[in-house]
């Protein structure tokens, strides 16, 4: 049963995980449990999604000698993003390079396997979970972790998709420093647009709020933006002209233009994978997989971590969540086996 309150048992679980990390920092050499699981054709854990959160969970479980299968389709949401920032030791490194290095390190643990492919279906079969791949292959595990991320839903503006993650941005903490003090736009309206403008004003004072149609700002919001010299443009955007994803100007339906260096956009999103819902995992009102503080979903034996569970989308946050999910899940397996 899903419970947001920390019980005495939860406290003991967390304490055991922490103690294990401190007392046993190095892996044992025995692989008896791994061998028995492999012979049965059942993994202890299947991780659906092989990006940062998934790889972090896999490393934690690999170091705990668990038999793990990672399934990844190779379509991360930051596939166009040239550089990752705000992640210690990896600031300015391409996301793909971070993921490649992580994957190579994770696969040094012999109990962790990687399968390139798309997971299409999942269901419970007696005491195991079954994941069916696009290839038709079926794989089984006692536990599941979904680190499948989200799919961005962008406004239908010509050129926006090509700029996404390059100069059309979603997060100032990830990309704001690189476009600081530059002429910057925000695509938004109403309360959300106002709050976004307040935030981005910290990085640049040369700022325009593009409402893409009639303003839905309140009179007080309009006055506040004007007092901070933030322009409000109500023209409808027809096209974003760019060069290799780098914005040069916005073209409006009345053929007016506005030169621009960067544009912040907060569109919608959908879950990248529907299998958790099919398995009965609860989705929050805001569209994320509901998890507790230990990354457990509302279905026993199923965990989730990363962008599919939180609005706080960053590499560092995904890695931390994956690490936690792996540790707590390992403790769950310990409790079942011992």
- Domain boundary (233, 265, 297) is at 265
pLDDT of residue 22: 41
Asked if residue 58 is part of any domain, the answer here is yes
pLDDT of residue 6: 56
Asked if residue 2 is part of any domain, the answer here is no
The model's pTM is: 0.86
Q: Is the pLDDT of residue 171 over 70?
A: yes
pLDDT of residue 167: 97
Instruction: Give which of 76, 79, 95, 77 is closest to 87, Cα–Cα.
Output: 95
Q: Residue 80's pLDDT band (boundaries 50, 70, 90)?
A: confident
- Give me the long-range contacts of 14-23 (CB less than 8 A, separation at least 24): 14/294, 16/331, 16/334, 17/327, 17/328, 17/330, 17/331, 20/327, 20/331, 21/327
Query: What radius of gyration, in Å, describes the C-alpha atoms of the chain?
Result: 23
Question: Is 38 or 105 the better-scoring residue by pLDDT?
Answer: 105
- Domain boundary (237, 265, 293) is at 265
Write down the mean pLDDT value for the chain: 90
Asked if residue 3 is part of any domain, the answer here is no
Asked if residue 298 is part of any domain, the answer here is yes
Between 34-48, 76-90, 249-263, 315-329, the lowest mean confidence (pLDDT) is in 34-48
Asked if residue 1 is part of any domain, the answer here is no
- Check whether residue 36 and residue 174 sit in a common domain: no
- Check whether residue 189 and residue 254 sit in a common domain: yes
- Check whether residue 304 and residue 159 sit in a common domain: no
- Check whether residue 117 and residue 174 sit in a common domain: no
- Check whether residue 39 and residue 103 sit in a common domain: yes
Asked if residue 119 is part of any domain, the answer here is yes
- Domain boundary (214, 239, 265) is at 265
Summarize pLDDT for 279-323 with one digit per residue, the tens: 999 999 999 999 999 999 999 999 999 999 999 989 999 999 999
- Check whether residue 180 and residue 228 sit in a common domain: yes
Range of the domain at 291: 8-151+269-337
Region 210-217: what's the mean pLDDT? Answer: 98
The total of structural domains in the chain comes to 2
**What CATH number does residue 178 fall under?**
3.50.50.60
pLDDT of residue 58: 98
């Amino acid at each position: 049963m899903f419970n947001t309150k920390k019980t005495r048992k939860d406290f003991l679980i967390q304490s055991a995980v922490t103690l294990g990390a401190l007392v046993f920092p190095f892996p044992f050499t025995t692989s008896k449990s791994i061998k028995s699981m492999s012979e049965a054709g059942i993994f202890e854990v299947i991780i659906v999604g092989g990006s940062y959160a998934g790889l972090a969970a896999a490393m934690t479980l690999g170091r705990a000698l668990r038999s793990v299968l990672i399934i990844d389709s190779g379509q991360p949401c930051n596939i166009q993003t040239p550089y990752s920032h705000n992640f210690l030791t990896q600031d300015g490194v391409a996301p793909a390079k971070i993921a490649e290095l992580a994957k190579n390190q994770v696969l040094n643990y012999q109990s962790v396997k990687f399968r390139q492919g798309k997971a299409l279906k999942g269901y419970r079969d007696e005491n195991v979970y079954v994941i069916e791949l696009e290839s038709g292959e079926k794989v089984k595990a006692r536990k599941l972790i979904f680190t499948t991320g989200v799919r961005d839903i962008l406004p239908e503006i010509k050129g926006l998709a090509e700029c996404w993650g390059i100069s059309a941005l979603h997060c100032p903490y990830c990309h704001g420093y690189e476009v600081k003090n530059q002429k910057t736009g925000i695509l938004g309206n109403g309360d959300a647009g106002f709050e976004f403008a307040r935030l981005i004003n910290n990085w640049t004072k040369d700022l325009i709020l593009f409402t893409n149609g009639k303003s839905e700002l309140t009179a007080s919001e309009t006055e506040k933006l004007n007092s901070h010299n933030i322009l409000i443009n109500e023209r409808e955007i027809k096209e974003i002209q760019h060069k290799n994803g780098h914005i040069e100007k916005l073209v409006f339906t009345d053929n007016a233009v506005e030169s621009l260096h960067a544009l912040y956009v907060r569109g919608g999103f959908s879950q990248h994978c529907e299998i958790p819902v099919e398995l009965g995992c609860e989705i929050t009102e805001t569209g994320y997989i509901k998890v507790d503080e230990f990354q457990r979903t509302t279905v026993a034996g199923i965990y989730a971590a990363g962008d599919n569970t939180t609005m706080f989308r960053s590499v560092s946050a995904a890695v931390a969540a994956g690490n936690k999910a792996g540790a707590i899940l390992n403790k769950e397996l310990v409790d079942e086996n011992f």
